[in-house]
Amino acid sequence: MIKVFGINNCTSVRNALKFFEEKGKQVEYVNLRKDKPSWQEMQQIKQVGGFQTIDLFNSNGKLFAEMGLNEGFGDLSEEEAFKLLVTDALLFKRPLVVDGNFARTGWNKKEYEEMWGSD
């Protein structure tokens, strides 16, 4: 099952959900404003996706900058970063898509086609 983490008003999340609908793929949508993933779940996602911790953050977002993370992110331990990440949905790079074999942050139709475009 494909799991899509996002927020309802995010265009990239809507694009991803539309892509999966058009491909006939069933997805579990996780609204990050209501349901926060656990630190353990984020660790698993990081491993599946081969991500660096910073890859999971919306590092270009306003909140990231307002929190001083542009300068201070490197001072955080991995656990501190993950705990911070799950405090606010706007800190997540969206959408975050996981299917057990792949994980992807952000919306890129070409990459989605390569990963999930066929059966």
2-116 CATH = 3.40.30.10
Whether the pTM exceeds 0.75: the reply is yes
Condensed to tens digits (0 to 9), the pLDDT of residues 21-65 reads 999 999 999 999 999 888 888 889 999 999 999 999 999 999 999
DSSP 25-43: --EEEEETTT-PPPHHHHH
Q: Residue 119: pLDDT band by 50, 70, 90 thresholds?
A: low
Contact 12, 25 (CB under 8 A): no
Average pLDDT, the chain: 93
Q: Which two tokens stand for residue 5?
A: 């983490």
- The position carrying tokens 């660790």 is 43
Res 7: pLDDT: 96
Question: Which residues is 104 bridged to in the sheet?
Answer: 97
Contact 97, 104 (CB under 8 A): yes
